[in-house]
Amino acid sequence: MKTGKLYLIGGGPGDAELLTLKAARVLRECDVVLYDRLTTPAVLALARPEAELIYVGKHDGEQEREQARIFELILEHATAGRTVARLKGGDPLVFGRGAEEWAVALEHGIEVELIPGVSSAIAVPGLAGIPLTFREVSRSFAVVTGHWKTGTNMDWAPYAKIDTLVILMGTKQRVLIAESLIAAGRNVSEPVAFVEQGSMADQRVVETELGAVAKGEVEISGPAVMVVGEVVRQRKKFTK
């Protein structure tokens, strides 16, 4: 039997209209779709009706076990001759372990094709009216993960002098992140924005300061993109 193929597909920030044309076309052709918890119903609806849809979202304490299951599902279906879509929120190679899935598939002789997606790291702040770069305000930005292995500490010192920080998966660790950034030299009064449900109709933006986040005074109700930097103040120019 001929081996199938794996597509690593970026699902974008959530709004189905921000999906690439190629991603939408390929979703209509795949036999199996492995999708995560950031995949919106509108994006998933683009899969062909006959496709097998398999939820592989990760939850706290189960990440490694679920990732092992994802590897197994890719190999099971692709070696059976099926075309598999690994559908990930944002871009597959930005904090999504897509490169690991790519490597595992290649090790087993499975053809892989990457379909990049619009990364939430760039799209979500922009859609909230926050430009990541702005003349004389921000000449650099960094995208940083706010999630790290239990029992390890992240060194935030390298990010102390970067103009704008975009922190993904950092909602639960926001107090520690803010404390660490202040300890590394960032100003307590530096503006911070949390963008929940970015690109969706119920998008919500919380503007605050780094010091308030460090004190635990900022409530966030769900996954959000965290933006730290003076560019947050520019938002008033672009939103009503």
Q: What is the pLDDT of residue 149?
A: 64
Same domain, 90 and 135: no
Same domain, 47 and 91: yes
* CATH code of the domain covering residue 136: 3.30.950.10
CB 6 within 8 A of CB 105: yes
**Which of 89, 118, 147 is at the close of a domain?**
118
**Which of 62, 84, 118 is at the close of a domain?**
118
Cβ-in-10-Å burial (0-12, 13-18, 19+) of 91 comes to: buried
Same domain, 156 and 97: no
Q: What is the pLDDT of residue 64?
A: 84
Strand ordering across the sheet containing 52-55: 52-55, 32-35, 83-88, 5-10, 111-115
Same domain, 40 and 80: yes
The amino acid at 194: F
Same domain, 108 and 156: no
Same domain, 132 and 56: no
* CATH code of the domain covering residue 76: 3.40.1010.10
CB 99 within 8 A of CB 116: no
If one counts the domains in the chain, the total is 2
Same domain, 153 and 106: no
Same domain, 109 and 132: no
Same domain, 73 and 138: no
Same domain, 207 and 112: no
CB 108 within 8 A of CB 24: no
- Residues in contact with 111: Cβ distance below 8 Å, sequence separation at least 6, in sequence order: 3, 5, 6, 105
Q: What is the pLDDT along the chain (240 residues), one digit of tens a residue?
A: 678 999 999 999 999 999 999 999 999 999 999 999 889 999 999 999 999 999 998 777 677 889 999 999 999 999 999 999 999 999 999 998 999 999 999 999 999 999 999 999 999 999 999 999 999 999 999 999 998 765 557 899 999 999 999 999 999 999 999 999 999 999 999 999 999 999 999 999 999 999 999 999 999 988 899 999 999 999 999 997
Cβ-in-10-Å burial (0-12, 13-18, 19+) of 240 comes to: exposed
Per the rule left: phi > 0, alpha: psi between -120 and 50, beta: everything else, 113 is beta
Same domain, 10 and 109: yes
**Which of 118, 139, 161 is at the close of a domain?**
118
31, 36, 88, 91: which is the annotated catalytic residue?
A: 36
Domain limits for position 46: 5-118
Question: What's the DSSP call for residue 171?
Answer: S
* Active-site residue flag, 58: yes
* Active-site residue flag, 36: yes
Q: What is the pLDDT of residue 58?
A: 79
Q: What is the pLDDT of residue 1?
A: 62
Same domain, 113 and 135: no
